[in-house]
A and B are shown apart, each in its own frame.
Chain A
Amino acid sequence: MERDLALLIPELVLSGAAMLMIVAEMARAPRLVLAIGLVALALSTALTLPMLDVDTTVFGGTYRIDAIAGWAKLILLPGTALALMMARAEIGGQPREGSVYALIVLVTLGALMLSGGGDMMVLVIGVVMTGLGSFALVAYPRDDAATEAGMKYLVFGAVTGSVMIYGLSFWFGGAGSTLFSEMGQLEGQRLVAIAGLIAVIVGLGYKAALVPFHFWAPDAYDGAPVSIAAYLSVITKAAAFFAFAQVLRDLPRDVGWPLALALISAATMTYGYLTALVQTNLVRLIAYSSVAQSGYLLMGVVALGVSPIAVPALLVFAAAYVAMNLGAFAVIMVAGRSLDDLEGVGRSRPWLGVAMVVFLLSLTGIPPLFGFVGKVYLFMAAVEAGYLWLAIIGILNSVLALGVYLRMVVPMYRSAEGRAPAPVGSWLVAVLSITAVATLGLGALAGLLLP
């Protein structure tokens, strides 16, 4: 028991902090709420570092402390801190801002449970925790758009969540256990395994914004504050992929899940980019591009179990995606929500322009940026797993991606009619510098850091 709790220290710190944050919010001290959140995230990250090499489970196998869970914390916790800073820059001074910070930390706690889940019940708790918090976050502005977006998100989430729980009951029936490590028992019970699989794909696919469960994403991102959209597009999504990895790695491959996910992956990236090509609203554009990026992340899941670099690929690309997507959203917070708002930004604010170019080229997958390194790992994993066609589709989509992202780069360097740039707050400057440096530099370092 004591050993189990000791291994759970990062999660415990975070949950304790979340409680404190709610108390501080009741005292109407939003700065204190933010401070507690940032300190707890930093502390939790630091506590994770010594546990990276641990590979064990706690509480009877229900919760995993392994490479995926460990590195997931190193990706999700700093990402959440950046999102908190962005939220502060956007909604600082507005009523109820403290509750947003508290909710963000709670949702991240749910994300950690998803990435460490070793049992169906932990998975369900993770899904519900991230879901409920996210609905409230999206609806925070209390205007029509946000309420509609939150409602849509809630209904979609409730339906897919229930389908998933229903499907998991098949697996429980077939394997006689709620532990994922027992899913090998499903060998030979093809129909039961497939029934549960479909349900899990529905439930997690919704969180990960995979086609065809992505409909909520553009609406929710567009209705929510930009910083919340940024947060949802990276943290809960990355967590959904870590959950995929935890659930599927024990499921026999002959059930057919690799092929099913490969098809979904191909459809997701193609559909995401094709739709992004015609958007004029920047948030929706990035939303569809995020859908496409989900397709790439799924390539790592497809290769799980046969390619030894599948897990590193998933982790590296997830880290890159968190950095570059948060950065791109931060630029949108400065520039504005419409494609026309980017007009001349690169000339009136050269550094902001350079940062945006770095984020967009990294999203495209141009070396030597972080996104490229992640994509190379993913392609390698897919080819090694025998999915050459998927790698080729991924590569063809990279060209489509260039079209999508250059649509944003080109207006940035058109001459603008002397719009005086508003000053960028120090929180956003910090977020932009951190994400830009990470996108630029971590690509070269990723190889040295990984096991």
Chain B
Amino acid sequence: MPLLTIATFLPILAGLALMALPDRSARIAHGVSIAATGAVFLITLVIWARGITPGSFAQIEEVAWIPAIGAAYRLGVDGLSLPLVLLTSLLFLLSAIYSARVSERAATYVVLMLMLETASLGTFMALDGLLFYVFFEVSLVGMYFMIVGWGYEDRQRAGLMFFLYTLLGSLPLLLAIIALYLGSGTFDMRDWIDAPPLAGIAAMLALIAMLFTFAVKIPAFPVHTWLPAAHVQAPTAGSVILAGVMLKFGTYGLVRFAYQMTPEAFVQAGQIILAFGVVSALYGAFAALAQTDLKKMIAYTSVNHMGYVVMGVAVAALATDPRIRTIGLDGATLQMVSHGLVTGALFFLVGMLQDRAHSRGLGEFGGLLARVPWLGWAFILSAFASLGLPGLAHFPAEFQVFLATLNVAPWAIVAILAIVVTAALYLRAIGAVFLGEANPKWAEMPDLDGREKLVIVPLLILTVLVGVAPGWLIEIIHTTMASLGN
């Protein structure tokens, strides 16, 4: 059974079916949404159970599309994409459950969410350059309408900025893909990986184009400015998907395209890419420290965490020892998943807080832990995970990244300073919101209800599980990275 294709297109087909229904009330729409995302989640579990093979792509599905130019419909998974596919299907399911209270134009909202899921899964599983680009761009359209339609106060401006920024960002990738095609005569990404078609200056130009695209998406300093605006204005589920899934397009592309398809140029530019990673990590942490808006603060910590991913990939390219290289790539990939779990949880929690208080300002709360213990402890646990506490999801990832960095480019270890800053800012946030003197204004605030617990608990469990026993996840990643590192 072509499970990859079914998983990819089931959401959008469910969305189309919903549009055709005579009764498109909020109840039915959310029912369709939860059923579809739930089914996709189960299918991705089966894909996981089917397993992957070291050194190549597994479960390949291929149909001719444009034979004249060697473009085809090709899907497949490996140790890099499978964890991200699982993360995607989980976060979309949880977002669907969380969103069940959206009553304003619910059917349209659900259709957009389902379209986004198709685009996201397609982006991670596509093995054809043109197909990848198609999915990559469709996600933009979905997210734009999401922000503009269901966002907060300043959504028009934020949506436009997001769309223009990322469209301008992704077009250089199209040039790079055309260059790879002209160099090889096919759009098959497997061919591009097995025998990188470009060399010399052409490879370097293609790499620069790709780096530009993925840096905008990641987002890395200095092209990150769209992110805080988009995050703050997006609806909660939109923020979760944006941070948890769509930022990974950038880091996934960094490994899949830049690292694998222009390997020599990537090594040449390694120190510069590493420097951008370090600056992003530090800048993200310090910028987050300066925020008084909770959502904006978490958005900036994403810049910080993604900076570590860039560092991990860059040191892997610079390393001469294959073992170190594998450690760097393992860490970077694990960091993508951890960030999805932890930041996803944090955005959900801030959303829940905002639903209750209609405010996100750090100074407006205080002593909430006694009032809403579930919300409070969940936030504290996620915050500790986010700052890299051992035993929680980010630790094994960041540990591997720093280990590899120390081995290859000791100067870059200054990025570890960012962990201290992150710790400070989270402690400050926890102190301001959940500890201290209770603000009487929120004396009536209700704690999490059953549906909200259903959304947040799985993420917390996974956060602990990945922190304490990451073996099962690293094993998937390692299967591919071990052969990639050699």
A399 surroundings in chain B (CB, below 8 A):
164, 167-168, 171
Are the C-beta atoms of A448 and B178 separated by less than 8 Å? Answer: no
Bound Cα distance from A134 to B440, whole angstroms? 75
Tell me if A418 counts as interface (CB < 8 A to partner B): no
- Over the window 48-79 of chain A, the binary record of Cβ atoms lying under 8 Å from chain B Cβ atoms (1 yes, 0 no) is 00000000000000000000000000000000
* Listed residue (B108, B160, B164, B167) with the most chain A CB atoms within 10 angstroms of its CB: B167
- Tell me which residues from 123 to 163 in chain B have a Cβ below 8 Å from any Cβ of chain A: 130, 133-134, 137-138, 140-141, 148-149, 156, 160, 163
A250 to chain B, nearest CB (A): 24
Tell me if A209 counts as interface (CB < 8 A to partner B): no
Tell me if A141 counts as interface (CB < 8 A to partner B): no
Stretch at the interface among B40-48, B64-72, B95-103: B64-72
A356 to chain B, nearest CB (A): 13
Are the C-beta atoms of B160 and A406 separated by less than 8 Å? Answer: yes
B171 surroundings in chain A (CB, below 8 A):
395-396, 398-399
- Over the window 165-178 of chain B, the binary record of Cβ atoms lying under 8 Å from chain A Cβ atoms (1 yes, 0 no) is 00110011011001
Residue of A nearest to B107 (CB): A350
A414 to chain B, nearest CB (A): 9
Bound Cα distance from A350 to B111, whole angstroms? 13
- Over the window 375-399 of chain A, the binary record of Cβ atoms lying under 8 Å from chain B Cβ atoms (1 yes, 0 no) is 0100110011000100110011011
Q: With A380-B178, A395-B175 known to touch, is A447 a contact of B156 (CB < 8 Å)?
A: no
Tell me if A361 counts as interface (CB < 8 A to partner B): yes
A448 surroundings in chain B (CB, below 8 A):
64-67
Are the C-beta atoms of B67 and A391 separated by less than 8 Å? Answer: no
A267 surroundings in chain B (CB, below 8 A):
none
Residue of B nearest to A394 (CB): B171
Tell me if A403 counts as interface (CB < 8 A to partner B): yes
Our count of residue pairs bridging A and B at CB distance below 8 angstroms stands at 75
Are the C-beta atoms of A384 and B174 separated by less than 8 Å? Answer: no
Binding site secondary structure of chain B:
helix
Residue of B nearest to A397 (CB): B171
Find B134's partner among A368, A392, A402 (CB 8 Å cutoff): A368
Find A391's partner among B130, B149, B164, B175 (CB 8 Å cutoff): B175
- Over the window 103-127 of chain B, the binary record of Cβ atoms lying under 8 Å from chain A Cβ atoms (1 yes, 0 no) is 0000010000000000000000000
Residue of B nearest to A364 (CB): B167
Residue of A nearest to B68 (CB): A450
Q: With A380-B182, A406-B163 known to touch, is A366 a contact of B66 (CB < 8 Å)?
A: no
Tell me if A156 counts as interface (CB < 8 A to partner B): no
B134 surroundings in chain A (CB, below 8 A):
367-368, 372
Residue of B nearest to A388 (CB): B175
B306 to chain A, nearest CB (A): 24
Are the C-beta atoms of B182 and A383 separated by less than 8 Å? Answer: yes
- Tell me which residues from 313 to 327 in chain A have a Cβ below 8 Å from any Cβ of chain B: none
Tell me if A309 counts as interface (CB < 8 A to partner B): yes
Q: With A366-B137, A402-B163, A410-B156 known to touch, is A383 a contact of B178 (CB < 8 Å)?
A: yes
Bound Cα distance from A379 to B174, whole angstroms? 9
- Over the window 413-451 of chain A, the binary record of Cβ atoms lying under 8 Å from chain B Cβ atoms (1 yes, 0 no) is 100000000000000000000000000000010111011
Q: With A399-B168, A410-B148, A447-B67 known to touch, is A361 a contact of B141 (CB < 8 Å)?
A: yes
B163 surroundings in chain A (CB, below 8 A):
402, 406
Residue of A nearest to B133 (CB): A367
Find B130's partner among A376, A406, A413, A450 (CB 8 Å cutoff): A376
Residue of B nearest to A377 (CB): B69
Are the C-beta atoms of A447 and B140 separated by less than 8 Å? Answer: no
B168 surroundings in chain A (CB, below 8 A):
396, 399
Q: With A367-B134, A376-B130 known to touch, is A447 a contact of B174 (CB < 8 Å)?
A: no
Are the C-beta atoms of B175 and A384 separated by less than 8 Å? Answer: no
B291 to chain A, nearest CB (A): 28
Tell me if A312 counts as interface (CB < 8 A to partner B): yes
Are the C-beta atoms of A403 and B65 separated by less than 8 Å? Answer: no
B175 surroundings in chain A (CB, below 8 A):
379, 383, 388, 391-392, 395
A402 surroundings in chain B (CB, below 8 A):
163-164, 167
A413 surroundings in chain B (CB, below 8 A):
148-149
Q: With A367-B133, A392-B175, A413-B149 known to touch, is A384 a contact of B182 (CB < 8 Å)?
A: yes
- Over the window 190-223 of chain A, the binary record of Cβ atoms lying under 8 Å from chain B Cβ atoms (1 yes, 0 no) is 0000000000000000000000000000000000
Q: With A367-B133, A380-B178, A383-B182 known to touch, is A447 a contact of B164 (CB < 8 Å)?
A: no
Are the C-beta atoms of A379 and B178 separated by less than 8 Å? Answer: yes
Are the C-beta atoms of A366 and B148 separated by less than 8 Å? Answer: no
Tell me if B179 counts as interface (CB < 8 A to partner A): yes
B164 surroundings in chain A (CB, below 8 A):
399, 402-403
A307 to chain B, nearest CB (A): 10
A384 surroundings in chain B (CB, below 8 A):
182
Are the C-beta atoms of A447 and B68 separated by less than 8 Å? Answer: yes
B181 surroundings in chain A (CB, below 8 A):
380
Residue of A nearest to B134 (CB): A367
B191 to chain A, nearest CB (A): 17
B65 surroundings in chain A (CB, below 8 A):
444, 447-448
Bound Cα distance from A406 to B148, whole angstroms? 12
Bound Cα distance from A76 to B478, whole angstroms? 55
A403 surroundings in chain B (CB, below 8 A):
164
- Tell me which residues from 49 to 94 in chain B have a Cβ below 8 Å from any Cβ of chain A: 64-69, 71
Find A367's partner among B66, B137, B179 (CB 8 Å cutoff): B137
Are the C-beta atoms of A447 and B148 separated by less than 8 Å? Answer: no
Find B179's partner among A350, A366, A376, A383 (CB 8 Å cutoff): A383
Bound Cα distance from A395 to B182, whole angstroms? 18
Bound Cα distance from A372 to B167, whole angstroms? 13
B115 to chain A, nearest CB (A): 12
Q: With A366-B140, A398-B171, A403-B164 known to touch, is A312 a contact of B68 (CB < 8 Å)?
A: yes
A359 to chain B, nearest CB (A): 13
B64 surroundings in chain A (CB, below 8 A):
448
Q: With A368-B134, A384-B182, A413-B149 known to touch, is A446 a contact of B66 (CB < 8 Å)?
A: yes
Are the C-beta atoms of B167 and A398 separated by less than 8 Å? Answer: yes
A375 to chain B, nearest CB (A): 9
B179 surroundings in chain A (CB, below 8 A):
383
Bound Cα distance from A166 to B175, whole angstroms? 41
- Tell me which residues from 241 to 284 in chain A have a Cβ below 8 Å from any Cβ of chain B: none
* Listed residue (A367, A380, A396) with the most chain B CB atoms within 10 angstroms of its CB: A367
A444 surroundings in chain B (CB, below 8 A):
65
Bound Cα distance from A70 to B200, whole angstroms? 42
A391 surroundings in chain B (CB, below 8 A):
175, 178
Residue of A nearest to B111 (CB): A354
A331 to chain B, nearest CB (A): 18
Are the C-beta atoms of A368 and B138 separated by less than 8 Å? Answer: yes
Q: With A366-B140, A368-B134, A406-B160 known to touch, is A376 a contact of B68 (CB < 8 Å)?
A: no
A392 to chain B, nearest CB (A): 7
Given contacts A391-B178, A444-B65, A447-B68, 13 further A-B contacts (CB under 8 A): A309-B69, A366-B138, A368-B134, A376-B178, A380-B178, A391-B175, A392-B175, A395-B171, A396-B171, A410-B160, A446-B66, A448-B67, A450-B68
Which B residues contact A (CB, under 8 angstroms)? Answer: 64-69, 71, 108, 130, 133-134, 137-138, 140-141, 148-149, 156, 160, 163-164, 167-168, 171-172, 174-175, 178-179, 181-182
Q: Can you list the 8 inter-chain pairs with the closest CB atoms, starting with the nearest?
A: A447-B66, A367-B134, A395-B171, A368-B134, A399-B168, A367-B137, A380-B178, A383-B178
**Sample of 16 A–B contacts (CB below 8 Å):** A366-B138, A367-B138, A372-B137, A379-B178, A380-B69, A383-B175, A383-B179, A395-B172, A395-B175, A396-B171, A399-B164, A399-B168, A403-B164, A447-B69, A448-B65, A450-B66
